[in-house]
C-alpha cells in the first residue's frame, strides 16, 4: 500500500458545483478501488493538495488520470511512500475548502476545524501525507494573517 501526495493549480476558479461534481465522481471510483484520502482546495490561491492512499498500482493509475486532467495544471508530486496503515481510512475522498466558507455537504471533513496546535504534526505519528496537509493549512493561515497585518498597518 502507498500514500501519494501532490499539489496543483486549478485551471480556473472552481465553483462549488464543479467541486461537488468532481468529488461525487472521484468518490465513486475511489470506493470501487478501495482508495482513500483527502482533497483540499484553496479558493484564495486556487490550489489543490491531495493525499491518495491505497494499493500501489491503483493509486498510481488514478494519479496518472489526475495528472492528465485539464481542470488543473502544474501537478507536482510531493511524495509517494509505502505505508502499512491509512491515515484517512474512513474517507473515500474527504474534502475541505481551505478558506472561510465550509459548505455543509455530507463528507466534508472536519479536518480544518481541528485545532492546529504548534508542533502537532511533529508529535503525532501521522504519515507524510497528513503532515503535508497540516503544513499546507498552516502556511495558508500564515499568509492570511500576514495579509491581515499589512492591511491593518496601511
Ligand X SMILES: Cc1cc2nc3c(=O)[nH]c(=O)nc-3n(C[C@H](O)[C@H](O)[C@H](O)COP(=O)(O)O)c2cc1C
Residues of this chain that interact with ligand X (CB under 6 A) are 22, 26, 29-30, 39, 48, 50, 62, 65-66, 69, 71-72, 93
Residue 17 or 117 having the CB closest to ligand X: 17
User: CB of 4: closest distance to ligand X in angstroms?
Assistant: 10
Nearest approach, Cβ of residue 68 and ligand X (Å): 7
Check: CB of residue 91 under 8 Å from CB of residue 39: no
Rounded (5°) CA angle 105-89-109: 25
User: Facing residues of 36 across strands?
Assistant: 53
Shortest reach from residue 35's CB to ligand X, in Å:
7
Complex with ligand X: residue 106 or 119, whichever CB lies closer: 106
| Grid cell in block for residue 145 | 494573517
Q: Cα(12)–Cα(147) distance, rounded to whole angstroms?
A: 23
Nearer to ligand X, 28 or 125 (CB): 28
Least distance between ligand X and beta carbon 19 (Å) = 9
- Residue with smaller CB distance to ligand X, 20 or 120: 20
The H or E element containing residue 97 is strand 94-97
Nearest one of 65, 64, 58, 144 to 98, comparing CA atoms: 144
Amino acid at each position: 500500500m502507498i500514500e501519494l501526495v501532490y499539489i496543483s493549480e486549478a485551471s480556473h476558479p472552481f465553483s462549488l458545483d464543479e467541486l461537488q461534481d468532481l468529488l461525487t465522481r472521484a468518490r465513486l471510483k475511489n470506493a470501487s478501488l478501495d482508495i482513500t484520502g483527502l482533497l483540499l482546495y484553496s479558493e484564495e490561491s486556487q490550489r489543490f493538495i491531495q493525499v491518495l492512499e491505497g494499493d500501489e498500482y491503483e493509486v498510481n493509475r488514478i494519479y496518472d488520470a489526475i495528472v492528465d486532467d485539464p481542470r488543473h495544471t502544474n501537478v507536482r508530486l510531493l511524495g509517494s511512500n509505502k505505508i502499512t496503515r491509512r491515515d484517512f481510512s474512513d474517507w473515500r475522498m474527504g474534502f475541505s475548502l481551505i478558506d472561510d466558507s465550509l459548505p455543509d455537504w455530507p463528507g466534508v471533513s472536519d479536518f480544518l476545524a481541528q485545532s492546529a496546535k504548534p508542533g502537532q504534526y511533529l508529535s503525532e505519528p501521522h504519515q507524510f501525507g497528513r503532515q503535508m496537509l497540516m503544513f499546507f493549512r498552516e502556511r495558508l493561515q500564515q499568509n492570511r494573517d500576514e495579509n491581515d497585518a499589512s492591511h491593518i498597518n496601511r
